[in-house]
Amino acid sequence: MKTPHMLDYLDFDTSDDGEGISSLDAMAYAKAAQWPALAAEVTQLLAWCSDAFGAPGALEEGHAWDLDLQLQSDAGDALALQWDARQRQLLAPQAAQQPALQLSLTLSGPDPFSQQVTEQFLGDND
């Protein structure tokens, strides 16, 4: 068994739609000084998903996984946030100017996808 990557900021809840698609939902709050570490953690996770399953996209269009990324300022304003799967880079141009940020991330895919993500990053083999 591989040792899972440790996650310090993202705490996931898992749900299943009953038709073989699972979602992994996480939220993280970071002050400005913590943003680089949170961004690195998200980058590590999404790079692993991209390496293992290809670029994210709509499951209905044949992609192996999809994601929803959102970023808000401490005041609740939506900020630009994007995963560049080709460059393996998290793009958040306004993040550095914020005193605090809230990130939400949803990963979705067939049950084998979520099982592998769970084993790799959460250490849960259920």
The pLDDT tens digits for 88-121 are 999 999 998 999 999 999 999 999 999 999 999 8
Q: What is the number of H-type helices and E-type strands within the chain? A: 2, 7
pLDDT digits (tens, 9 = 90+) for 12-65: 999 988 888 999 999 999 999 999 999 999 999 999 999 999 999 999 999 999
In 3D space, the residue among 105, 2, 107, 19 whose CA is nearest the CA of residue 63 turns out to be 107
Beta bridge partners of 56: none
Say whether pTM exceeds 0.75: yes
Q: Which amino acid is at 23?
A: S
Say how many C-beta atoms besides its own lie within 10 A of residue 49's C-beta: 24
